[in-house]
Structure 1
Amino acid sequence: MELESYHGYSVWGHAILQQEGILQPERYAASGTITRNNKLVEASGVLGYFDTEEQAQHAGLDWARAWVDSHG
């Protein structure tokens, strides 16, 4: 999980490990969360699947920043 402060909001990028099968490579589902004053503002569903935890977290942060930009 990666946290960033953005225009007065706390935006989070999440990477959720997906293990479909033992012989499958690890994949990470991305999601984003936006909070303000410790209260949930908005949360995404699964935004996509990525090969690395970092890529998934960044996708979640990108979604959260875009949401703030369009609702601010």
Structure 2
Amino acid sequence: MESETYRGYNVWGHAILQQEAILAPERFAASGTITRNNKLVEASGVLGLFNAEAEAEQAGLAWALAWIDSHG
């Protein structure tokens, strides 16, 4: 999980392991969460699937930053 502070909000990028079969390559579902003062502001659904954990986390962070920019 990757996190940062942006314009007074805490934003989180999540990578959720998705492995449909034992021999299938690992994939990661991306999602994002926004909190302020330890309270949930908004959470995304699944934003997409990625081959790398870091890519999924970055997609979640990008979503959260864009949400704040569009609602600020």
TM-score, with normalisation over the residues of structure 1? 0.99
For residues 42 and 17 of structure 1, the distance between their equivalents in structure 2, rounded to whole angstroms, comes to 22
For residues 38 and 3 of structure 2, the distance between their equivalents in structure 1, rounded to whole angstroms, comes to 13
Offset from partner CA, 1:1-57 (integer Å, 9 cap, x none): 011000000000000000100110000000000000000000000000000000000
How large is the RMSD of aligned CA atoms in angstroms?
Answer: 0.3
Match of 2:63 in 1: 63
Corresponding residue pairs, total: 72
Identity of aligned residues (%): 76
> Which secondary structure state, in structure 1, belongs to the residue aligned with residue 25 of structure 2?
coil
Matches within 5 A, 1:1-72: 1-72=1-72
For residues 39 and 13 of structure 2, the distance between their equivalents in structure 1, rounded to whole angstroms, comes to 16
Q: What is the letter of the counterpart of residue 71 of structure 1?
A: H
- Structure 2 unmatched runs, 5+: none
- Structure 1 unmatched runs, 5+: none
Runs of 4+ in 1 over 6 A off after TM superposition: none
